[in-house]
Amino acid sequence: MFSREWLIYVFGRWVLLSGIAGALIQYLFSDKFLIPTIPAFLLNQFLLACVFWYVDRYIFQRHFGRVKEIFKFPRIKGTFDINDQFSKISQEFSEYAEDYEKTPNNPHAWLNRFLDLAHAVEMTERVLRDKGINVDAEYYSIIKENQRRGLYS
Protein backbone atom coordinates (compact mmCIF):
# COMPACT_ATOMS: atom_id res chain seq x y z
CA MET A 1 0.00 0.00 0.00
CA PHE A 2 2.76 2.49 0.85
CA SER A 3 4.46 2.38 -2.53
CA ARG A 4 6.13 5.28 -4.28
CA GLU A 5 3.11 5.59 -6.54
CA TRP A 6 0.81 5.75 -3.50
CA LEU A 7 2.90 8.49 -1.88
CA ILE A 8 2.88 10.55 -5.07
CA TYR A 9 -0.88 10.15 -5.36
CA VAL A 10 -1.61 10.99 -1.73
CA PHE A 11 0.75 13.93 -1.38
CA GLY A 12 0.72 15.17 -4.98
CA ARG A 13 -2.94 14.74 -5.81
CA TRP A 14 -4.65 15.06 -2.44
CA VAL A 15 -2.45 17.19 -0.22
CA LEU A 16 -0.93 19.57 -2.75
CA LEU A 17 -3.52 19.82 -5.49
CA SER A 18 -6.78 19.33 -3.59
CA GLY A 19 -5.59 20.80 -0.31
CA ILE A 20 -4.01 23.95 -1.68
CA ALA A 21 -6.60 24.42 -4.44
CA GLY A 22 -9.40 23.87 -1.94
CA ALA A 23 -7.93 26.35 0.53
CA LEU A 24 -7.42 28.98 -2.17
CA ILE A 25 -10.92 28.56 -3.59
CA GLN A 26 -12.42 28.63 -0.09
CA TYR A 27 -10.49 31.83 0.65
CA LEU A 28 -11.64 33.35 -2.64
CA PHE A 29 -15.31 32.48 -2.12
CA SER A 30 -15.50 33.32 1.60
CA ASP A 31 -13.19 36.31 1.94
CA LYS A 32 -13.27 37.94 -1.49
CA PHE A 33 -16.79 37.15 -2.71
CA LEU A 34 -18.23 37.21 0.85
CA ILE A 35 -20.15 33.95 0.38
CA PRO A 36 -21.06 32.44 3.77
CA THR A 37 -18.76 29.61 4.89
CA ILE A 38 -21.01 26.58 4.34
CA PRO A 39 -22.27 27.54 0.85
CA ALA A 40 -18.71 28.58 -0.07
CA PHE A 41 -17.44 25.17 1.08
CA LEU A 42 -20.12 23.32 -0.91
CA LEU A 43 -19.41 25.38 -4.02
CA ASN A 44 -15.69 24.82 -3.46
CA GLN A 45 -16.18 21.05 -3.27
CA PHE A 46 -18.41 21.05 -6.34
CA LEU A 47 -15.82 22.91 -8.42
CA LEU A 48 -12.99 20.67 -7.22
CA ALA A 49 -15.07 17.57 -7.97
CA CYS A 50 -15.73 18.85 -11.50
CA VAL A 51 -12.00 19.35 -12.09
CA PHE A 52 -10.67 16.29 -10.27
CA TRP A 53 -13.19 13.95 -11.87
CA TYR A 54 -11.06 14.24 -15.02
CA VAL A 55 -7.75 14.21 -13.14
CA ASP A 56 -8.65 11.04 -11.19
CA ARG A 57 -10.14 9.41 -14.26
CA TYR A 58 -6.84 9.98 -16.08
CA ILE A 59 -4.77 8.73 -13.12
CA PHE A 60 -6.79 5.56 -12.65
CA GLN A 61 -7.20 4.92 -16.37
CA ARG A 62 -3.42 4.93 -16.65
CA HIS A 63 -2.95 2.96 -13.45
CA PHE A 64 -5.49 0.26 -14.26
CA GLY A 65 -4.81 0.19 -17.99
CA ARG A 66 -3.10 -3.16 -17.54
CA VAL A 67 -6.32 -4.69 -16.23
CA LYS A 68 -8.08 -3.83 -19.48
CA GLU A 69 -5.37 -5.65 -21.41
CA ILE A 70 -5.94 -8.85 -19.46
CA PHE A 71 -9.03 -9.71 -21.50
CA LYS A 72 -8.09 -9.77 -25.14
CA PHE A 73 -10.93 -12.03 -26.25
CA PRO A 74 -14.67 -11.34 -26.11
CA ARG A 75 -16.67 -13.21 -23.49
CA ILE A 76 -18.04 -16.53 -24.75
CA LYS A 77 -21.77 -17.07 -24.35
CA GLY A 78 -22.85 -19.69 -21.84
CA THR A 79 -22.12 -20.73 -18.32
CA PHE A 80 -18.80 -22.19 -17.31
CA ASP A 81 -17.35 -23.68 -14.18
CA ILE A 82 -13.85 -24.31 -12.96
CA ASN A 83 -13.88 -28.01 -13.88
CA ASP A 84 -14.97 -27.28 -17.45
CA GLN A 85 -12.25 -24.70 -17.75
CA PHE A 86 -9.60 -27.03 -16.37
CA SER A 87 -10.58 -29.61 -18.99
CA LYS A 88 -10.53 -26.97 -21.71
CA ILE A 89 -7.07 -25.75 -20.69
CA SER A 90 -5.78 -29.34 -20.65
CA GLN A 91 -7.23 -30.00 -24.11
CA GLU A 92 -5.89 -26.74 -25.57
CA PHE A 93 -2.45 -27.34 -24.04
CA SER A 94 -2.27 -30.86 -25.49
CA GLU A 95 -3.16 -29.56 -28.95
CA TYR A 96 -0.66 -26.72 -28.65
CA ALA A 97 2.11 -29.03 -27.43
CA GLU A 98 1.46 -31.48 -30.25
CA ASP A 99 1.70 -28.77 -32.93
CA TYR A 100 4.68 -27.10 -31.24
CA GLU A 101 6.68 -30.33 -31.05
CA LYS A 102 6.26 -30.88 -34.78
CA THR A 103 7.77 -27.52 -35.77
CA PRO A 104 9.01 -25.51 -32.77
CA ASN A 105 10.81 -22.98 -34.98
CA ASN A 106 7.72 -22.20 -37.07
CA PRO A 107 5.32 -20.11 -34.95
CA HIS A 108 2.81 -19.96 -37.81
CA ALA A 109 2.29 -23.71 -37.43
CA TRP A 110 1.33 -23.52 -33.72
CA LEU A 111 0.35 -19.88 -33.07
CA ASN A 112 -3.38 -20.57 -33.39
CA ARG A 113 -3.17 -23.37 -30.82
CA PHE A 114 -1.14 -21.15 -28.49
CA LEU A 115 -3.77 -18.41 -28.70
CA ASP A 116 -6.55 -20.95 -28.12
CA LEU A 117 -4.71 -21.94 -24.93
CA ALA A 118 -4.42 -18.28 -23.91
CA HIS A 119 -8.16 -17.89 -24.55
CA ALA A 120 -8.97 -20.86 -22.32
CA VAL A 121 -6.80 -19.41 -19.55
CA GLU A 122 -8.51 -16.04 -19.94
CA MET A 123 -11.93 -17.66 -19.71
CA THR A 124 -10.84 -19.41 -16.51
CA GLU A 125 -9.89 -16.05 -15.05
CA ARG A 126 -13.31 -14.70 -15.99
CA VAL A 127 -14.98 -17.65 -14.27
CA LEU A 128 -12.91 -17.02 -11.13
CA ARG A 129 -13.78 -13.31 -11.18
CA ASP A 130 -17.46 -14.15 -11.67
CA LYS A 131 -17.25 -16.34 -8.55
CA GLY A 132 -15.85 -13.39 -6.57
CA ILE A 133 -12.26 -14.63 -6.41
CA ASN A 134 -9.83 -11.73 -5.94
CA VAL A 135 -7.62 -12.47 -8.95
CA ASP A 136 -6.05 -9.00 -8.81
CA ALA A 137 -4.69 -9.66 -5.32
CA GLU A 138 -3.01 -12.81 -6.59
CA TYR A 139 -1.55 -10.93 -9.57
CA TYR A 140 -0.21 -8.34 -7.13
CA SER A 141 1.23 -11.06 -4.91
CA ILE A 142 3.02 -12.68 -7.85
CA ILE A 143 4.39 -9.33 -9.03
CA LYS A 144 5.66 -8.48 -5.55
CA GLU A 145 7.31 -11.90 -5.21
CA ASN A 146 8.98 -11.58 -8.62
CA GLN A 147 10.16 -8.06 -7.77
CA ARG A 148 11.62 -9.35 -4.52
CA ARG A 149 13.47 -12.03 -6.47
CA GLY A 150 14.77 -9.41 -8.92
CA LEU A 151 13.09 -10.93 -11.98
CA TYR A 152 11.90 -7.63 -13.48
CA SER A 153 13.99 -4.93 -15.06
Domain boundaries, the chain: 4-63, 68-148
pLDDT the model gives residue 79: 87
- Would you say 71 and 122 are in contact if contact means Cβ atoms under 8 Å apart? yes
pLDDT the model gives residue 118: 95
Q: Over 70: is that where the pLDDT of 62 sits?
A: no
Task: List, as one string, the DSSP characters of 63-111.
Answer: HTHHHHHH--SPPPSS---HHHHHHHHHHHHHHHHHHHHH-TT-HHHHH
* Mean pLDDT to the nearest integer, 80-106: 96
Confidence of residue 64 (pLDDT cuts 50, 70, 90): low
The domain over range 68-148 is classified in CATH as 3.40.50: no
pLDDT the model gives residue 56: 77
pLDDT the model gives residue 61: 65
Does this model's pTM top 0.75? My answer is no
Distance CA 77, CA 99 (A): 28
Confidence of residue 6 (pLDDT cuts 50, 70, 90): confident
Q: Over 80: is that where the pLDDT of 119 sits?
A: yes
